[in-house]
Amino acid sequence: MTSDSITSITVLPGRAKDGGQETFDEIAIRPGDTISIVGPTGSGKTAFINDIEVFARGDTITGRTILLNGELPPDDTVRDPAQKPIALITQNTKCFADLTVREFLEMHARARRIGDDSRVKSTISLANEFTGEKIGGSMRITALSGGQTRSLLIADAIVISSAPIILLDEVESGGIFKEKVTASLRDHRKAVLFVTHDPVLALLADRRIVMTNGAVEKVLVPNGREKEVLLRISTMDRELSAFRERIRAGELLTIQEGTR
């Protein structure tokens, strides 16, 4: 299934942990949408993402139902990895095999029945737009840094999986250009949902789902009202990253002229 054949994913309400009904009517997700999911530990963020991943039909612990283009999706769409419209990346997603970047992508392309070699190349160049540390096709996957691995996995989900829906569950944001990644997901008309504790990423999304006690408590639609705050925390975030880099580089930190 490609982005063109997907017009919407709809989440229908289920139950909170205490058995109470969720109060939203439905949450519709369309190509190009970016949605962040926030809430305390144990509030059901991962369960929400998983419901979408498996196309729940009232058969998961939350009782939610997920529709594809307004209907329950046929079995082969959901089970066949070559057709599955969803790519899920989690904190634990690792590339186990000791392959080069190119071999890893070629292997995935074959599994997705893609014969076209240029896709591997475009994945590598997209990954390089997401991180400042250069990724080469002949590098070993196991030798990549955290930021490089995350960039490669996201680029892989965009180009090779060509899954129209991308789910990210607490994928750390260190070593990746957040604005660049979210802009690229929008440009590629991906629908993306991410669970995040990163304030910049949470605010970069168009909508923010707030979870409590296993249920969706509310869906915030900032519509530009958080723009100034986003600008402010992005600046703070960049400053913090610069300090982090200097600590890593072994510097002794003192307030320098102009940084006060």
Residues that bind Mg ion (CB under 5 A): 45-46
Which of 3, 8, 10, 17 is close enough to bind ligand ATP by CB under 6 A?
17
- Is residue 62 a contact point for ligand ATP (CB under 6 A)? yes
**Shortest distance in whole angstroms from residue 52 CB to ligand ATP:** 12
Q: For ligand ATP, which residue of 41, 92, 223, 256 counts as binding (CB under 6 A)?
A: 41
Q: Which is nearer to ligand ATP, 47 or 160 (CB)?
A: 47
Pick one of 6, 9, 16, 201: the residue that binds ligand ATP (CB under 6 A): 16
Q: Work out what residue 73 binds among ligand ATP, Mg ion, none; the CB cut-off runs from 5 to 8 Å by kind.
A: none
How would DSSP label each residue in 78-110? HH-TTT--EEEEETT----S--BHHHHHHHHHH
Contact between 47 and ligand ATP per CB under 6 A: yes
Q: Is 54 in the site for ligand ATP (CB under 6 A)?
A: no
CB of 214 to ligand ATP, least distance (A): 3
Contacting residues toward ligand ATP, per CB under 6 A: 15-17, 39, 41-47, 61-62, 214-215
